[in-house]
Amino acid sequence: MLETFTPAVCGGRKRQIVAQALFAAAAIAAATALGLGLGFVGSRVGAREAVLAAAALALVAAAREAGLVRVPLPQARRQVPDRWRFELPLPVWATGYGAGLGAGFFTFQPVSTFWVACAGALALARPLPAALCFSLYGAGRAAMVVWPRRPAEDPTAAVERLTRRRGALLRANAVALVACAVLLALAPAAGGATLVAGSALDPTVSGGVIAFETKTGDVVVRPSGEPDLVFPDAAQPALSGQYLAYVDAGGIRVLRWRDRADVARIDSPGVSRPALDWPNLAFVSVGPDSKRLLVRNLETGTTRYPANVAPGADLGRPSLRNGRLAWHVVTRNRSRIFVRTLASNTRRLFARTEIGRLSNPSLSGRRLIWVDARSGVTYLRQGRLDSKSRRVLARIRGRAASYWTTSLAPGAAYMTRWTIASGAAAVYKVST
Amino acid sequence: MQPPEREASTLDRQAERLSAKLAESTTRRSFLGRLSAAALAVAGGSAVAAAVKPDEADAFHFCGHIWTTGSCPSPYPPLARIDRKGFPLHPQSGRPIDNLGRIVDSAGHALDGNGNRLRGPDGEVLAPAPRTRICEDWTAEVKGLKDLRVQGAWFRCCGGQIRKLVDCCSRSRRRINGDASLVGYCWGGRRVYCVMYYDTGLPC
C-alpha cells in the first residue's frame, strides 16, 4: 500500500502530499473515533474488572511477543482494496485507506499490542482520554506513509528494514507490554475507584454536575468543563439540576447555583442532611425527643414525615430521586435501609442487617447504592429496586479506612473515602 | 497473654473426626455438665477457681478449646470473645466492641486510641453502630439459623485466669465446620453449632 503514495501513482508531488495528508487525517480520525467508542463502552463497564482484564491481557500478549506462548490474533488478513485507486478519486481512496488502517480492525496485525491498547482504552473508561491515546495509533500508521525518504528510494524499503529487525522489535514490544501490565495493575482504577476531589466529602451529582464539601468548610460546584463555583461556610450539598441545597449556620439554604439566587430557606439550627429533587427537599430535623425525616415541597409548602426515630438512633443522610426517598436507620440492634415512593406513600425495607452498618444510600433511576460496613471490610454495594440483584462496586479491606457518603449517577457512583484515624477524606468515583 | 494459636495437623484432624464420631453417638454427660456448670455459677469465683486445675489448657484454635467445633462468627474471627451476656469483646483488651470491631463506650460510641469518641470526616461524633450477640444474632444471620441458643459451658485455665467456654447450640445436625455436630453441653435436642469464650478474670 505504501508504494501507492508516490508521484507516479498520485500524478505529481503536490497530489502525493494531498493524498498523504488525507490518509494521515483519516487514520488519526478513525483511531480517535475507535478510542472514543472504547472509552465510552468502558465507562459503562466496571472499571476495576476492565483494568484487571487489560493487565492480564497485556501479560498474555507480552508472553506471545516473547515467543513463550502461541495465541492467534483476531484480525482481518486482507490488504487495502487495490482497485480503489483505479476506480475512485484520489481524495476518496486516500481517505478510505487511512480510515481502514486507522481503525485497526480491518488490517493485518503483526503483533498483539493493538488489542492490548483496545483493552486499555476500555479500562480507561473515559472517552476523551481514550480517544487522545488512540489518536497516537493513527499517527503511527500515518508516519509510515509520510516518513521522509530519499526520492529514489523504494517506499517499502523502510518496512523491509523494520522487518529485518523483527526480533529486536518483538523483544522491545514484550518489555513494553509487561510494563503496561504492571502499570495497569497498579492504576487507581484497579483498586475500584478513581480520585475525583482530594480533601473533600459528601459528593452529590446531577446532570453531569458534581458538588462536594471541602474539608475547609466550603461547598464546591464543579460543572463539566467549567470553572468551580465555591460557596463559603457551607456543608452537606445536594444538587438537583440548577438548584443546590446546603447547610449553613442558620439552617438549610436552597439556591440556583449558577447565579446564586436564593430560592428557599429552612431556618432552624436543628435541620441538616438535605436531599433535593426539585421541588421536593428532604432533610433531617433533630428535636429533644426524636429525630424526624421530613420531605417538603418547596412550591406548595406541604410537608410529609416519612420517618421518626429515637434520639439515640442514627437517621442518615437521605437520597431523593424520581419521586423516591431512601434513607438509613442505625440503632444498637440493627441497621436498615428504607425506600419510600412518595406518590403512593408505600415504604419498603430494602436491606437490613444485625451484624453490620448499612448507611448513606443513594438513588438513581431504579438503582440504589449504599455503604455496608462490616468488621474489617467496608463495601460499596449496588442493588436494583425491581430485583434482588446485588453487587459490590468497591471495597476497602482493613479497619483503617471506610466509605462515608455516596451519590449515584447514570454509569458512575461517587463516594467519600475517609481515613478513620486522621479524618482525612476524598471523593472517589467508580463505574457502575 | 494468650498462647499462640495452633494449626491443626493431619493427625489432629484425624483425631478430631474420630472424636466427632464417638461424641455423636453418645450424650456427653449432659445432665452432669449442666448441673456442675450451674453449681459453679452459683458458688462464685472462688469455687470456680478451686475447681479448675491451675495449668494451661491445651488449645485447638483458641486457648481452652480442644479439637472439634469451630468458633462462632465474630468481629475478630476466630477469637469469639464475649461478655457475660454474649456481646462481643475485644480479644486482647477485653473491652466492649461494636459489630465493626471498634472499641466502644457505654453509650455505644466508637473510641479512638486515646479513649475519645471517634469523629467522622465532617467532624461530628460518629453515631453508634450495632452491637449484637455473637450466638443469637451474629451466627443466626451469617449462617441463616433461627434457633440458636447459648446453652452449655465448661471451664479451662488460660493466660492465668479461668476461661468459660460457651456452646452456641442449634437443632441443626451440621455444625459450623460443615460436618456432623456434637451434642456437647447442649440440651433440648440442640447440638453444638459453634463455640465462644468468656474470660472470667478469676485467677487459676
Does B159 reach chain A within 8 Å, measured CB to CB? no
From the number of C-beta atoms within 10 Å of its C-beta (0-12, 13-18, 19+), residue A83 rates as: exposed
Find the CB nearest B130 among A355, A420, A425: A355
Q: What is the mean pLDDT of residues A123-151?
A: 76
Which band of pLDDT confidence, cut at 50, 70 and 90, is reported for residue A147? Answer: low
Lowest mean pLDDT among A132-141, A209-218, A396-405, B99-108: A132-141
Give the distance from residue B99's alpha carbon to the nearest chain A alpha carbon, in angstroms.
6
Does A377 reach chain B within 8 Å, measured CB to CB? no
From the number of C-beta atoms within 10 Å of its C-beta (0-12, 13-18, 19+), residue A113 rates as: buried
Q: What is the pLDDT of residues A368-400, one digit of tens each?
A: 999 999 999 999 999 999 888 888 998 898 999
Does A314 reach chain B within 8 Å, measured CB to CB? yes
What pLDDT does A16 receive?
A: 77
**What is residue B157's three-state secondary structure?**
strand
Find the CB nearest B129 among A357, A421, A424: A357
Residues 37-96 of B with CB under 8 A from A: 73-76
Which residue in B has a C-alpha nearest to residue A201's C-alpha? Answer: B121
Does B123 reach chain A within 8 Å, measured CB to CB? yes
Q: What is the pLDDT of residues A156-167, one digit of tens each?
A: 676 777 777 878
Does A330 reach chain B within 8 Å, measured CB to CB? yes
Which band of pLDDT confidence, cut at 50, 70 and 90, is reported for residue B40? Answer: very low
pLDDT at A86 over 50: yes
What pLDDT does B58 receive?
A: 44
Give every CB contact of residue B177 below 8 A, 6+ residues apart in sequence.
B69, B70
Which band of pLDDT confidence, cut at 50, 70 and 90, is reported for residue A357? Answer: very high
Under 8 Å CB pairs connecting chains A and B tally to 80
Strands B191-203 and A271-277: unpaired
What pLDDT does B41 receive?
A: 40
Closest CA to A233 of A244, A248, A243, A246: A248
Find the CB nearest B130 among A332, A404, A420: A332
Does A65 reach chain B within 8 Å, measured CB to CB? no
**φ, ψ (nearest 5 deg) of residue A217:** 95, 25
pLDDT at A140 over 60: yes
Grid coordinates of A266: 429552612
| CA gap B49, B37 in Å, rounded | 13
From the number of C-beta atoms within 10 Å of its C-beta (0-12, 13-18, 19+), residue A138 rates as: buried
pLDDT at A137 over 60: yes
**φ, ψ (nearest 5 deg) of residue A44:** -95, -5
Does B124 reach chain A within 8 Å, measured CB to CB? no
Rg (CA), chain A: 28
pLDDT at A352 over 80: yes
Does B173 reach chain A within 8 Å, measured CB to CB? no
Grid coordinates of A358: 448499612
| CA gap B203, A342 in Å, rounded | 61
pLDDT at B24 over 50: no
Contacts of A424 in chain B (CB under 8 A): 121
Percent of chain B with pLDDT over 70: 69
| CA gap A267, A31 in Å, rounded | 56
Contacts of A334 in chain B (CB under 8 A): 130, 132
Give the distance from residue B117's alpha carbon to the nearest chain A alpha carbon, in angstroms.
11
Contacts of A313 in chain B (CB under 8 A): 127
Distance of CA A98 to the CA centre of its chain: 30
pLDDT at B18 over 80: no
Q: What is the DSSP secondary-structure string of A189-210?
A: GGGT-EEEEESEEEEEEETTEE
From the number of C-beta atoms within 10 Å of its C-beta (0-12, 13-18, 19+), residue B196 rates as: buried
C-alpha torsion B84→B87→B93→B97, nearest 10: -150
Output the furthest CA–CA distance in chain A (Å, rounded). 93
| CA gap A302, A296 in Å, rounded | 6
A355 and B131 within 8 Å at the Cβ level: the answer is: no
Grid coordinates of A395: 471495597
What pLDDT does A210 receive?
A: 95
What pLDDT does A189 receive?
A: 53
Grid coordinates of A328: 438509613
Q: What is the mean pLDDT of residues A60-89?
A: 73
Does B144 reach chain A within 8 Å, measured CB to CB? no
What pLDDT does B13 receive?
A: 45
| CA gap A93, A224 in Å, rounded | 39
Higher-pLDDT residue of A184 and A403 is A403
Closest CA to A245 of A302, A283, A198: A283
What pLDDT does B35 receive?
A: 40
pLDDT at B54 over 50: no
Residues in chain B: 204
What pLDDT does A90 receive?
A: 80
Which residue in A has a C-alpha nearest to residue B132's C-alpha? Answer: A333
Closest CA to A316 of A281, A295, A348, A291: A291
Spatial strand order of the sheet with A425-431 comes to: A194-198, A425-431, A412-419, A401-409
What 8-state DSSP symbol labels residue A139? H
A355 and B102 within 8 Å at the Cβ level: the answer is: no
B130 and A420 within 8 Å at the Cβ level: the answer is: no
What pLDDT does A74 receive?
A: 63
What pLDDT does B50 receive?
A: 39
A373 and B100 within 8 Å at the Cβ level: the answer is: yes
pLDDT at B44 over 50: no
Contact A246, A238 (CB under 8 A): yes
Spatial strand order of the sheet with A367-374 comes to: A357-364, A367-374, A377-384, A390-397
Q: What is the mean pLDDT of residues B113-120?
A: 92
B99 and A418 within 8 Å at the Cβ level: the answer is: no
Q: What is the pLDDT of residues A208-246, one digit of tens each?
A: 899 999 999 999 999 988 999 999 999 999 999 999 999
Which residue in A has a C-alpha nearest to residue B135's C-alpha? Answer: A355
Contacts of A236 in chain B (CB under 8 A): 122
What pLDDT does A175 receive?
A: 85
What's the ipTM? 0.72
Lowest mean pLDDT among A24-28, A49-53, A118-122: A49-53
Which band of pLDDT confidence, cut at 50, 70 and 90, is reported for residue A254? Answer: very high
Lowest mean pLDDT among A41-45, A239-243, A301-305, B128-132: A41-45
Helix, strand, coil % in chain B, rounded to nearest 5: 25, 25, 55
Contact A171, A179 (CB under 8 A): no
pLDDT at A204 over 80: yes
Give the distance from residue A203's alpha carbon to the nearest chain B alpha carbon, in angstroms.
13
Which residue in B has a C-alpha nearest to residue A217's C-alpha? Answer: B122
Average pLDDT, chain B: 76
Grid coordinates of A161: 528494514
Contact B103, B126 (CB under 8 A): no
- Candidates B72, B99, B116, B118: best to mutate against A (most CBs of A within 10 A) is B99
Does B132 reach chain A within 8 Å, measured CB to CB? yes
Give every CB contact of residue A41 below 8 A, 6+ residues apart in sequence.
A122
**Residues A317-347: b if buried by 16+ CB within 10 A, e if exposed:** bbbbbeebbbbbbbbbebbbbbbbebeeeee
User: What residue type is B5 in one-letter code?
Assistant: E
Does A201 reach chain B within 8 Å, measured CB to CB? yes
pLDDT at B108 over 90: yes
What pLDDT does A353 receive?
A: 95
- Candidates B122, B126, B138, B142: best to mutate against A (most CBs of A within 10 A) is B122
| CA gap B126, B121 in Å, rounded | 9
- Candidates A375, A377, A396, A420: best to mutate against B (most CBs of B within 10 A) is A375
Q: What is the DSSP secondary-structure string of A244-312?
A: EEEEETTEEEEEETTTTEEEEEEE-TTEEEEEEETTEEEEEEE-SS-EEEEEEETTT--EEEEEEE-TT
Grid coordinates of A111: 503483533
Does A424 reach chain B within 8 Å, measured CB to CB? yes
Percent of chain A with pLDDT over 90: 44
Contacts of A215 in chain B (CB under 8 A): 121
Contacts of B128 in chain A (CB under 8 A): 312, 314, 330, 332
Does A416 reach chain B within 8 Å, measured CB to CB? yes
Does B130 reach chain A within 8 Å, measured CB to CB? yes
Average pLDDT, chain A: 85
